[in-house]
Amino acid sequence: MSELVQRFTINREGTDYVVGDIHGCYDLLATALERKGFDATRDRLFCVGDLIDRGPDSRACLELVFEPWFHSVRGNHEELASQALQGGDWALWVENGGGWALNEQPRRLAALLHEALARMPYAIEVALDDARVGIVHAEPPDDWAALAQQGHALRQRLTWARRRIASRCETRVSNIDAVVVGHTILASPTNLGNVRYIDLGAFSTRALHIEALSESVSHFASKT
């Protein structure tokens, strides 16, 4: 079982970036990183989850979690994969883009997923020079401190919920400067309260959003 929250100290050597739902689009990610001039020896890349399914290269995207420069929260598609391999609910996973798994050797895939999920917390917190940025897949709690207080009771909300985006909620998440999420496909990055939504539906639109975390925070600087 992965930990609920993983915290990262300030990166003094390079730049921290965040990327939207990759969904097996390894080629798009490689192109986006090249355009940003990403340096794997100094920079770090954080992802909002859903590394797998729907796109052409889920396995390569899942294996990114073993790179020292790459860090991702767990998305609902990783949850679907886990449920299929642990509980046998293959139909639901396949219906939602997990068909690639049928071409894999079950035991090897189960081992890979087990190791990968152990490296994927439900939430990430990154320290910048003058801010703290949270990252979850779907929806943060109203109070970031609740992650420590309520623990794994929040897992469903973190990976599946859409209440805030559905109601266009402008209420800020307390005890954090900004939160970056994915899960809900939008035409362009959208800010509500201090939550920034960056999933552009890469598997269908071929648009994958990546930005420096300092840029993510800058959208809310005048509202604090």
- The per-residue pLDDT for range 64-115, each reduced to its tens digit, is 999 999 999 999 999 999 999 888 888 999 999 999 999 999 889 999 999 9
77 is catalytic: yes
Select from 200, 217, 224, 221 the least CA-distant residue to 23. 200
Report the distance separating Cα 100 and Cα 81, nearest Å. Answer: 11
Q: Which of 23, 71, 77, 137 is catalytic?
A: 77
* SS3 label, residue 103: helix
Domain boundaries, the chain: 5-223
Torsion angle in degrees (nearest 10) through CA of 186, 187, 189, 195? -30
What is the pLDDT at residue 224? 44
**Cβ-based neighbours of 30, under 8 Å, separated by 6 or more:** none
Mean pLDDT of 8-20: 98
How much is the pTM?
A: 0.96
Angle between helices 76-87 and 106-117 (to 10 degrees): 130
Sheet holding 195-197, edge to edge: 5-8, 123-127, 132-135, 178-181, 195-197, 190-192
What is the percent of the chain with per-residue pLDDT over 70, rounded to a whole number?
97
In degrees and rounded to multiples of 5, residue 217 shows phi and psi of: -70, -35
Report the distance separating Cα 74 and Cα 195, nearest Å. Answer: 18
Q: Are 8 and 126 in contact (CB under 8 A)?
A: yes
Per-residue CA distances from 120 to 22, 94, 95, 137 (Å): 15, 21, 23, 11
Specify the fold of 5-223: Purple Acid Phosphatase; chain A, domain 2 (3.60.21)
